[in-house]
Structure 1
Amino acid sequence: MHRLLLWFKQDLRLDDHPAVHAALDADRVLPLYVLDPSVLQPTALGARRLGVHRARFLLESLTALDGQLRQRGSRLLVLVGKAEQLIPQVVEQLDLREVLTLEEIAPEERAQLNAVRKNLGHVALRELPGNHLLRAEELPCSLEELPQVYAQFRELVEQRLPVFQPLPTPANLPPLPENAEALYQPLPTLSHLGLGEPLSVPASAFPFSGGEPAAQARLRDYLWLSQGVREYKDTRNGLIGSEYSSKFSPWLANGSLSPRRVVAELRRHESQYGRNDSTHWLWLEMLWRDFFRWTLVRHGSALFQAGGLKATERAPRNVDQRFEQWCQGRTGMPLVDANMRELAATGFMSNRGRQIVASYLVNDLQQDWRHGAAWFEEHLLDYDPASNWGNWAYLAGVGSDPRHQRMFNALRQARQYDPDGAYVSLWLPELRSVPAHLRHTPFLLSHLQLDAMGYPRLQEIPETWKPYLPSAA
């Protein structure tokens, strides 16, 4: 009797899942997810590793995965605790012979895999290819030779375009091991985890739920029904609404959606409707995601250090009240504050917004980039270690890019991407009474007016903003 444990982590789907496929040959399979409550505790950088928005999204995704498994004669066991303790216990209790899971790329997750393997003793832990777009054997060169700069990486990959053939969703799964029923309890809720229910916010740019069915529905909609992908390049710098970008990232981050499925569908779309700049741009964004993942595999924990991948660079190390004001969306710079309030209220922020607020924290406020990255880790629905820390290191000038810091002029960005102040009005209700032409520059109003509105005053106006101030000022 081949009896095994199928350990789900950041791969909460049945479609294109190598470990699920490998489990189909077994006689009995126990699908398991372990929720470690320590991710709810603050880390050395102050933030928690899992905040309320991603916790809600995770629980929705687990519920959806359980539903998908039940339709196929199985069900999901969710245990709360440490994987390295719980998995060996369950394996022994149910006399399972093997553990299947997907490989990990981040240092802490890899350390956990090794701890589980060690505690399993003679029972094998088999790792299958993880959530990369390109498998190791599909890389254009060896990992050590991989270009450190995205443009060169992309050029090499595009010289011999890989063909993606995702694995189909299985129709049925092997039955559960005998005696497994006794282990099941109801899935945990946010209140079990000591978290409150986040309020739903009508203005959210991500009004979708967690889980594979919602991810597949969005993929169908964006590529086939609305075909929003055909305008992606023109709309991707948007700030308001759900349609300015694909919004695939939260599902990609917890593995409810396979990156190989996304690109296979994108190629199918292009073969039917033709390739344009926008469909190509979505491919480039998927490739960026993979570039960050392989960079993390290569450099490991260096990516999480203050000096990033450039030990010689001096990124700012301060953390003072300006960091707190940035977190709370009370810096006095409306575009930055609006983005930070959207993040706190919904767990989502546009790509353009992320670059603006990160640059503002590092360059204008001179704060330690790692604290910003940790704040994003707690709050973002689509937090993914490689993309989050990779993007922050890049903006702080300590990534592998040859350029130094990426500095954004926040007021210029505001004029360009929110010309009528609609976005700042949406998230900063206290500025709605301000005339539209002053909505990005409330710091030009009198102290009395600002105090009456309850909006903080910017301490000093950077020289570089002068060309973008209203002409009357």
Structure 2
Amino acid sequence: MRRALLWFKQDLRLDDHPALQAGVDVECLLPVYVLEPSQLELGPLGARRLGVHRARFLLESLAALDGLLRQRGSHLLVLQGSAEQLLPQLAERFNLQEVLTLSEIAPDECQRLDRVSQRLGPVELRELPNNGLLRTEQLPCSVSELPQVFSQFRELIEQQLHVYQPHPAPEHLPPLPAGVEKLLGPLPTLSQLGLGEPLSVAASAFPFAGGETAGSARLRDYLWNSQNVRQYQQTRDGLIGSEYSSKFSPWLANGCLSPRRIAAELRRYEAQYGRNDSTHGLWVELLWREFFRWTLVRHGSALFQAGGLKATARAPQQVDQRLTHWCQGRTGMPLVDACMRELAATGYMSNRGRQVVASYLVNDLQQDWRHGAAWFEEHLLDYDPASNWGNWAYLAGVASDARYNHLFNALRQARQYDPEAAYVSLWLPELRHVPQHLRHTPFLLSHLQLGALNYPRLEQIPEAWTPYLPSAA
């Protein structure tokens, strides 16, 4: 019988896991996760691939995965180093004939798979279907023929009825290879990784833990227990609290939840309680995720270039002190600063907030959008290459969408989505004692007043903000 290694990456679950299913009948199975130190180093755009909040969520997810494996007679081996060096060494040491893993779509991850495959030599690297909703054979046309505008993509996909039948986690797993016990040890801590421990923030909109168990509990609660999914369309643009949106994205990004499981549960819920605009709205968000994934498959590394998918687009490419102020939440525009402070403190930000801060960086501050995308990559719990870079390219006007750019009036957004300035007050304590009607426009205060608050002054007020300034100003 075959002896196999199961290589976990961003697929930290047992439910609906094609590579795991392919390994249930082998003689012995070695589950492995490789934490690569290069992820913690600064990249060319000035940010790390893995920041403290993402690392915390990752370690929680690995601990949860190990617990689920132990319940089934197995264990998770977590190693630090290079996958192309460690995996061949394990295969040789324990006489393993194949490595099972999920396929990848992002260029860097695909190249890593190629390097591992080359180093494995005669040991087969089997790539199973990845974390997408649809597989290539389920598409209504070839990848190159898929619409490059979301509305058309959605219409095409929704013309076909897809029945999602995710495979549940097996009850038992093959034993570990003999001698592996010597390699098993505790997970590294954030401090050992050089990241330090993040403070717990009571106001976090994502007060949840990483891991499949927590993700599955959230899925049950949002759909079946609280049924908050029925109000999703009315609450999705909220800024405060854990219930204004599903919050599935961090578990999806780390592979703790399968998108096919979410789709199947959503269909089951609609069959029992009926479909409404909100349940359909959640489905559309799954399709957005899918759209960005196939966009990445089609265009590859072009998505990460300054000109994005439009080589002729004129997206700003300058980087100066304004980028630093944006990262620090010190631009002088309260809604933008509140969103960026929330991100730094918790690793999360609302969908509405992401659109506002991205548009502000590109259109108001005229900074290179790729640096914003890289900052999000370091900090966002739900960082996913396709969705993150696809959304940023979309906001910067260098995606496939026909429009040049997507300009958000930040002050109008503040008035509409934070009318009582509750969100700004939550994340910008220095403005809490400013009269409520001025909390979105502290730049109207005198230099003396603003200086006493230790809040930066916005030197130039966009003309488009004029209709949304306080009437007394």
TM-score by length of 2: 1.00
Structure 2 residue aligned with 1:417: 417
Deviation at 1:251, TM superposition (A): 0.3
- For residues 179-198 of structure 1, the aligned pairs below 5 Å read 179-198=179-198
Structure 2 residue aligned with 1:261: 261
Structure 1 residue aligned with 2:109: 109
Structure 2 residue aligned with 1:387: 387
Structure 2 residue aligned with 1:14: 14
SS in 2 for 1:440: coil
Structure 1 residue aligned with 2:359: 359
Cα distance in 1, alignment partners of residues 11 and 30 from structure 2: 16
Deviation at 1:92, TM superposition (A): 0.3
Partner amino acid, structure 1, of 2:62: L
CA offsets, 1:326-368, max 9 Å, x none? 0000000000000000000000000000000000000000000
Q: Give 4+ residue runs of structure 1 displaced > 4 Å after superposition.
A: none
CA offsets, 1:422-446, max 9 Å, x none? 0000000000001111110000000
1:247 and 2:247 are equivalent in the alignment: yes
Cα distance in 2, alignment partners of residues 189 and 13 from structure 1: 21
Deviation at 1:183, TM superposition (A): 1.6
SS in 2 for 1:101: strand
Structure 1 residue aligned with 2:373: 373
CA offsets, 1:46-69, max 9 Å, x none? 000000000000000000000000
1:71 and 2:71 are equivalent in the alignment: yes
Deviation at 1:188, TM superposition (A): 1.2
Cα distance in 1, alignment partners of residues 354 and 403 from structure 2: 19
The percentage of counterpart residues that share the same residue type is 77
User: Alignment length, in residue pairs?
Assistant: 473
Deviation at 1:225, TM superposition (A): 0.3
Deviation at 1:178, TM superposition (A): 1.0
Structure 2 residue aligned with 1:135: 135
Structure 1 residue aligned with 2:446: 446
CA offsets, 1:205-228, max 9 Å, x none? 000000000000000000000001
1:313 and 2:313 are equivalent in the alignment: yes
Structure 1 residue aligned with 2:235: 235
Structure 2 residue aligned with 1:458: 458
1:204 and 2:199 are equivalent in the alignment: no
Deviation at 1:195, TM superposition (A): 1.2
Structure 1 residue aligned with 2:402: 402
Cα distance in 1, alignment partners of residues 175 and 122 from structure 2: 24
SS in 2 for 1:245: coil
Structure 1 residue aligned with 2:437: 437
Structure 2 residue aligned with 1:124: 124
CA offsets, 1:377-420, max 9 Å, x none? 00000000000000000000000111110000000000000000
SS in 2 for 1:126: strand
Partner amino acid, structure 2, of 1:39: Q
SS in 2 for 1:19: helix
Deviation at 1:164, TM superposition (A): 0.4
Deviation at 1:322, TM superposition (A): 0.4
SS in 1 for 2:397: coil
Deviation at 1:161, TM superposition (A): 1.9
Cα distance in 1, alignment partners of residues 440 and 193 from structure 2: 39
Deviation at 1:182, TM superposition (A): 1.6
Partner amino acid, structure 1, of 2:16: D
Cα distance in 2, alignment partners of residues 298 and 145 from structure 1: 10
Deviation at 1:140, TM superposition (A): 1.5
Partner amino acid, structure 1, of 2:424: V
Cα distance in 2, alignment partners of residues 298 and 215 from structure 1: 30
The unaligned stretches of length 5 or more in structure 1 are none
SS in 2 for 1:147: coil
Partner amino acid, structure 2, of 1:420: E
Structure 1 residue aligned with 2:164: 164
The unaligned stretches of length 5 or more in structure 2 are none
Cα distance in 2, alignment partners of residues 299 and 146 from structure 1: 12
Cα distance in 1, alignment partners of residues 212 and 185 from structure 2: 22
Deviation at 1:189, TM superposition (A): 1.2
Partner amino acid, structure 1, of 2:108: E
Cα distance in 1, alignment partners of residues 283 and 408 from structure 2: 25
1:58 and 2:54 are equivalent in the alignment: no
Deviates more, 1:362-371 or 1:160-169: 160-169
Structure 2 residue aligned with 1:428: 428
Deviates more, 1:179-188 or 1:25-34: 179-188
Cα distance in 1, alignment partners of residues 140 and 241 from structure 2: 38
Cα RMSD over matched residues?
Answer: 0.5
SS in 2 for 1:437: helix
Partner amino acid, structure 1, of 2:244: Y
Partner amino acid, structure 1, of 2:365: L
CA offsets, 1:72-116, max 9 Å, x none? 000000000000000000000000010000000000000000000
